[in-house]
Amino acid sequence: MSSRRLDKYEKLPVYQKAQELFDLAEVIADALKEDEMKEHLAVQMFTNAALIQAKIAGAEGGGLYTLRMQNAVLIKLATQDMFNAISFASMVEINEEDYVDLMRDKIDEFRLVFNDWVRGFDKTYDIPDNWAIRFDCSTPEQEKLEELMFDEDRFFNDFDENEDIGDDEDDEKE
């Protein structure tokens, strides 16, 4: 992956807020008291924080609305799991500081930026996924309409753009 493409999503406000969540998860994990649950909770927070960043990158890597929304849903769930982990740590008193409010505030900041990001997804650029979540696949007429909504040229142009990025890397190596 070229650094130019990497820089593109790392500069997004939603990705930067996700990095703040990751950094906070690291601070909280270090502050947990030694307890048999400490490692489990730390892994849960780190895994979810990393997943959030990966899913932002994944959503930015493809333009189809359904795929972007799938990533968005997984980001929401990972964020909730992070909050649940720190809430549990507070309930069982294995954190010396009360990080619940800090995590809640940081997640709320992330949520606002996340909402703006998701609102920017292009709903018109999509294809049916045959799971009937976004599209009603119940009638042949509806299936035909969905096929017409799919812009094959635009879809394959995305792949062509990705090939250009790979070509740039080859040029840099020469």
Same domain, 55 and 113: yes
Same domain, 11 and 74: yes
Same domain, 29 and 103: yes
Same domain, 44 and 80: yes
Q: Residues 69-94: pLDDT tens digits?
A: 999 999 999 999 999 988 888 888 87
Which pLDDT score, from 0 to 100, does residue 166 have? 45
pLDDT at 110 over 50: yes
The conformation of residue 120, written as its DSSP 8-state character, comes to T
Instruction: Tell me the pTM.
Output: 0.73
The answer to whether 52 and 92 have CB atoms below 8 angstroms apart is no
Same domain, 109 and 60: yes
Please report, for the domain that includes residue 118, its CATH number.
1.20.1440.60
Q: Residues 124-141: pLDDT tens digits?
A: 888 777 776 665 555 566
Same domain, 108 and 165: no
Place of tokens 């964020």: 79
Residue-wise over 86-101: b if at least 16 C-beta within 10 A, else e?
A: bebbbeeebbeeebbe
Domain range enclosing 170: 127-174
* Proportion of the chain above pLDDT 70, given as a percent: 71
Question: What confidence tier does 116 reach under pLDDT thresholds 50, 70, 90?
Answer: very high
